[in-house]
Structure 1
């Protein structure tokens, strides 16, 4: 509910790289009485965002979940998100872990009690799903009495409330609700001492921290790939067909894995193939996610060259792995190949990029240390790209693969990637 003006500081270091886009999100810490951070309120500060709308609410939550930067936007803290009443029924809320999200519900203005009652079922449904609800101090007015039992947090605006008003509101909230009180827009030590002495135990404002800007990166998939995925999911296509679409677009694959491993989704698992990712998320959430991704990213319509190279590399490794490994392990080879260029796609060290994904240790080791059979396959794939004959011969001999097998697999991988690329 606060809407502070962010300080005139530069964006976080690291401009968007090829294959990625960035939007600016401001976050401000919410502290407890021990001055420990318990959550962050998020604000969309992208230049493309005009005003506070239902659409901006949706994109803010989605971007926070899918953020691909080295620094987590919220980590395991609570996410406080300003909402419009129109956005409260949006399907984007199905993609988040409600335990981590506090929805800040705005007042309705000068309205009749009938409208307050009309909104009540939506708020009750959100709370029954596990979302936390926050209101500003107007929820303590008699008109909003039906909403008060739903309040987990009540924000007290220090910029508009006088000391005597605060005393009355704090006393009333303590007697008529179970909500925790947050003093917001707190700017001085005197204000802090005053509200602390009145029993308030949570705080937000410049006295503690100013909003900081974070460039929230999204790895950009091709729009054609997203549309194809949406059509397949809508027609309830097979998992095999859906997996094929994910395989052809490194950006699409990364975003899905990032979502599943987001702390905000609450589903962190070790994923070794895109098939597992599809089955874990389910068709309904997959459709919702793809629709939001189409809205959230700006794409040129075709995958960047580095993404295309990653797709070829993944397919080559998969074909070579099929020569001597079971099918499931060959799938893992594809995952390693397609994610081996995340450093270039995201503009960050590969170790940091891999850290965003909850990959099994065997896969992470292959990407970062090249110390197992998958790492050898990755080194071999790179040798094919650079015509490094010495490394090519060395790894081929170690894996008992012939030149003919490798060259044929490389041609197949190139042809497959061309066929799979969006028109």
Structure 2
């Protein structure tokens, strides 16, 4: 099976408002060679197994998942397990030269699957093909913006969504947004927008309260002291309880108060939710995609270590993953972030140099966000199989989506 040999690669799809509307899932590759039918099929099988639940169904809310496929897989059993309304199948333009493939694509569209066309010259597409697709990949050319704007204006009047690829700068993203394009952004979302450099830096009032709470939790302070601090901001109290009650935490009994949370969970799990709350309380250039990435990374790192480390250590991995993007979320240097809150030494080592006990786990989670050759050696050093890494990756994505959905 390919998921035993390749690592999942996740790339976010942003709409013009910088909101995450979906992901492309693929296998990491060392070269640009096309994936074989067997490799594409194994991806379908793995995604279907991870994102469908017998009791609750589709696990990713309203997110779209883009998956490359080929004509040989149009009737694959795994494809039938994926909900058509959430799946966009990416196919190459060359496939549509075959009449039987055209008919098969018509059938997929009739079933409700989205079809994204890759490698097409949009100036040369006839109405037959345009009537079959829901999305089309385009390549932004900043040097030819005016003519592209005229060309894309035609598509803006149709139901076909244009999807830009290889968007590597925020200037190019803004150009795509102006044209009404959605965009796959690779690792661009990990780079702060240039205008954030001019925004006020520092910890705001809400974050000051959260940091005080984190310090009290770390010291196992009396519950009344925590409640006294939290009473300063009723909004924070409400949002904290929303996070704790999120479907991602798996509680059957709704938490009604901080006291109730401590009684059911103890002190240690509160720290994770306060770290999430600290990031979402940012007032400087808040980025939904960066926030989601931080939550996925935190949970991913935690799951990678959950079988080999004690429970408390795995909790620290979540905090390390969250804090690894906190400097960008808060628009302050990492050293300053760490000066505002006392973290375990091992967490600090991971954040500053990807060293210590937690460093390799955090590095592995990061490597799986990119097409990084380091993922294999890191997983091997931690004695984690490729399949277990992939399962943890997609499980973390589901968990983060449940958390986000619970607080909308």
TM-score by length of 1: 0.38
TM-score by length of 2: 0.40
